């Protein structure tokens, strides 16, 4: 009987294990999975809503418990960390985090799904009590304990990407006075600055203080060694009863690096289209520890996102189980919200397009989410990038009221299909007054972009 070893028990790892188990029963395939934390198969993306109180219980975020996985014939070793990968010997060394005991386990097939970790810049105080990342349920649990233990109501969030912005809102919901320190010109640097400024305004509107160009240099601690303030390069001090790190995550690939597996520029594992690690027929990798092919930019990038991790798991499990599936790549779609403002992007920003050598035009329009006369109509701003020579759609950013975020999916499909903005203008999108103006905002943006392409004259 063959043995599959899975390293990492969240979305990618356990989806892979489950899908492999669907295709091959326990008589054909033994499955051993290692997870260092206390939890399996949970929604890390849901943590801000649990912290904010909208999602009442931690366990609401758990799709499948260790017991449920075990009931499906997966030998799951919780609180057990894989500390060495011996590729030549086809084995992994694991350590029981409670007892410290170490064991070697051989594999026929291996899945690496080690995830990502929040970036923790090296600086004084960064490891103090009261400084929290929010990448895992364990992280979320620790943060909640700090919030419950600490009477003060001042929170500093470092970073204004998706996690930073969502955590800022969560902390406002918990009646914190929130300051967000971010390095860029505008929060939400996953958008171009002209679109980020709309997010900036919404954050300020809900009472969040934002500080642009802030370079954090230290976390100051009190007599008990707990975080008490954040210090920036310009010498300013921001008092903090709790500090949340939202400056992004990096792939957790030390194990792979030490074993000589191929890593990309962002430190993520490199795989082929079937999610096999390049050059290794019996090792697959997926989720937040890999780089994915950006179909628009034509290169691999590190895009940690639960939806990709789940797809990876499905593809890996199919491959391991003797089926066939591929993950062709992504176009860089991401959606988020702050208060009632929905935020979305797909494809390339201006700086992404410049970085890969594309010449482009841009078009920005303001419209509404429903017919303008429909009760509760809210504004929507759409920015579109198109290749200057060909009119090919390159990217879309949307900020606006209800229905703004998921409208980006239209652009995601059009990008995948390689459509020109002229083709986008002609798309047959759903229209009725409660859902859209008679010209959908995405079509209005495409019309303006197509006109810009024609005017540009190559």
Q: How far is the CB of 431 from a second copy (least distance, A)?
A: 4
Residue 366 binds a second copy (CB under 8 A): no
3, 23, 30, 45: the catalytic one is: 45
How many CB atoms are located within 10 Å of the residue 245 CB? Answer: 26
Q: Within positions 402 to 431, which residues make up the interface with a second copy, using CB under 8 A?
A: 402-403, 405-410, 412-414, 416-417, 419, 423, 425-431
- Choice between 12 and 111, CB closer to a second copy: 12
How many CB atoms are located within 10 Å of the residue 431 CB? Answer: 13
Of these, 118, 440, 449, 453, which contacts a second copy (CB under 8 A)?
440
Of these, 103, 204, 237, 307, which contacts a second copy (CB under 8 A)?
307
- Choice between 251 and 347, CB closer to a second copy: 347
Q: How far is the CB of 145 from a second copy (least distance, A)?
A: 21
Q: How far is the CB of 287 from a second copy (least distance, A)?
A: 12
Rounded to the nearest 5 degrees, what angle is found at the Cα of 102, between the Cα atoms of 132 and 263?
60
Of these, 114, 179, 271, 310, which contacts a second copy (CB under 8 A)?
310
Residue 204 binds a second copy (CB under 8 A): no
Query: Rounded to 10 degrees, what is the CA torsion of 12, 17, 22, 25?
Result: 170
Of these, 327, 363, 384, 386, which contacts a second copy (CB under 8 A)?
327
- Choice between 230 and 398, CB closer to a second copy: 398
- Choice between 229 and 344, CB closer to a second copy: 344
Of these, 306, 378, 389, 456, which contacts a second copy (CB under 8 A)?
306
Q: Within positions 140 to 199, which residues make up the interface with a second copy, using CB under 8 A?
A: 162
Pair 407, 344: CB distance under 8 Å = yes
Residue 335 binds a second copy (CB under 8 A): yes
List, as one string, the DSSP characters of 252-312: --HHHHHTT--B-TTS-B-B-TTSBBTT-TTEEE-GGGB-EEETTTTEEE----HHHHHHH
Task: Write the burial class of residue 384 (CB in 10 Å: 0-12 exposed, 13-18 middle, 19+ buried).
Answer: buried
Q: How far is the CB of 207 from a second copy (least distance, A)?
A: 20
Pair 4, 107: CB distance under 8 Å = yes
Spatial CB neighbours of 455, under 8 Å, sequence gap ≥ 6: none
Number of residues near a second copy (by CB under 8 A):
65
| Active site (annotated) includes residue 45 | yes
Q: How far is the CB of 395 from a second copy (least distance, A)?
A: 13
Helices 11-23 and 306-320 meet at what angle, rounded to 10? 30
Residue 433 binds a second copy (CB under 8 A): yes
**Comparing C-alpha atoms, which of 138, 145, 134 is closest to residue 169?**
134
DSSP 18: H
- Choice between 125 and 441, CB closer to a second copy: 441
Of these, 87, 371, 378, 456, which contacts a second copy (CB under 8 A)?
371
Alpha-carbon span 95 to 84, nearest angstrom: 9
What are the strands of the beta sheet with 80-86, ordered from one edge?
80-86, 91-96, 102-106
| Interface contacts to a second copy, rule CB under 8 A | 11, 43, 45-46, 49, 54-55, 60-61, 162, 305-308, 310-311, 326-337, 342, 344, 346, 371, 373-375, 402-403, 405-410, 412-414, 416-417, 419, 423, 425-436, 438-440
Give me the active site residues, please: 45
């Amino acid at each position: 009987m063959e043995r599959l070893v899975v390293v990492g028990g969240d979305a990618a790892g356990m989806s892979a294990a489950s899908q492999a188990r669907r295709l091959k029963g326990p008589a054909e395939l033994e499955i051993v999975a290692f997870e260092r934390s206390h939890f399996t198969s949970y929604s890390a993306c849901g943590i801000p809503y649990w912290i904010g109180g909208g999602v009442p219980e931690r366990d609401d975020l758990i799709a499948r418990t260790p017991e449920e996985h075990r009931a499906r014939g997966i030998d799951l070793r919780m609180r057990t960390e894989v500390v060495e990968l011996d590729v030549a010997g086809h084995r992994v060394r694991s350590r029981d985090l409670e007892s410290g005991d170490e064991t070697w386990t051989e594999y026929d097939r291996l899945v690496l799904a080690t995830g990502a970790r929040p970036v923790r810049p090296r600086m004084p105080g960064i490891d103090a009590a009261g400084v929290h990342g929010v990448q895992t349920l364990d992280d979320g649990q620790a943060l909640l304990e700090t919030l419950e233990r600490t009477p003060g109501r001042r929170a500093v969030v470092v970073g204004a990407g998706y996690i930073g912005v969502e955590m800022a809102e969560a902390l406002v919901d918990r009646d914190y006075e929130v300051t967000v320190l971010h390095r860029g010109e505008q929060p939400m640097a996953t958008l171009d600055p002209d679109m980020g400024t709309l997010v900036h305004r919404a954050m300020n509107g809900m009472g969040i203080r934002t500080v642009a160009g802030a370079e954090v240099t230290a976390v100051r601690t009190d007599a008990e060694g707990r975080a008490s303030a954040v210090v920036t390069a310009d010498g300013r001090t921001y008092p903090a009863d709790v500090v949340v790190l939202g400056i992004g995550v990096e792939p957790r690939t030390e194990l792979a690096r030490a074993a000589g597996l191929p890593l990309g520029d962002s430190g993520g594992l490199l795989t082929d289209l079937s999610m096999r690690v390049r050059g290794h027929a019996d090792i697959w990798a997926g989720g937040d520890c890999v780089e994915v092919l950006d179909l628009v930019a034509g290169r691999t990038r590190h895009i940690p996102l639960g939806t990709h991790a789940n797809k990876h798991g499905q593809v890996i499990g199919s491959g391991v189980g003797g089926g066939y599936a591929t993950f062709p790549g992504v176009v860089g779609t991401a959606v988020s919200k702050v208060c009632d403002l929905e935020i979305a992007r797909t494809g390339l920003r201006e700086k992404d397009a410049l970085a890969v050598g594309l010449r482009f035009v841009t078009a920005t329009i303001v419209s509404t989410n429903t017919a303008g006369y429909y009760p509760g109509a809210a504004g929507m701003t759409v920015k579109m990038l198109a290749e200057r020579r060909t009119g090919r759609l390159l990217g879309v950013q949307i900020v606006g009221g209800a229905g703004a975020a998921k409208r980006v999916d239209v652009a995601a499909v059009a990008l995948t299909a390689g459509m020109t903005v002229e083709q986008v203008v002609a798309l047959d999108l759903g229209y009725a007054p409660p859902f859209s103006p008679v010209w959908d905002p995405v079509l209005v943006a495409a019309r303006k972009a197509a006109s810009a392409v024609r005017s540009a004259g190559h």
